[in-house]
Amino acid sequence: MNRSDVQKRLNSIFCDIFDDESIKISDSTSAADIEDWDSLEHINLIAAVEEEFGMKFRMKEVSGMKNVGEMLDIICERGSK
């Protein structure tokens, strides 16, 4: 999977989950950057990403993700297998 394509798909998911079409994610985007990103929305976000990309994150991946860049890395790594 092309990282740029994955990021575009992720951005669309973020806009849907947080109901904000103005969101523009980058590698450094984190929960601190999006007002409504709380623990419940994090679960919804992870579920939506897993559905979109047909994958399941491992618990240690979910708990270890510090920003969107780390999420992108995992998706791209899994997509290349």
Domains of the chain: 3-79 (1.10.1200.10)
Q: pLDDT per residue over 41-75, tens digit each?
A: 999 999 999 999 999 999 999 999 999 999 999 99
Residues 14 and 25: beta-carbon distance below 8 Å? yes
At 9, list the tokens: 């798909």
The mean pLDDT of the chain is 94
* Model pTM score: 0.92
DSSP string, 19-78: T-TT----TT--GGGSTT--HHHHHHHHHHHHHHHT----HHHHHH--SHHHHHHHHHHH
pLDDT band at 78 (very low <50, low <70, confident <90, very high): confident
pLDDT of residue 68: 97
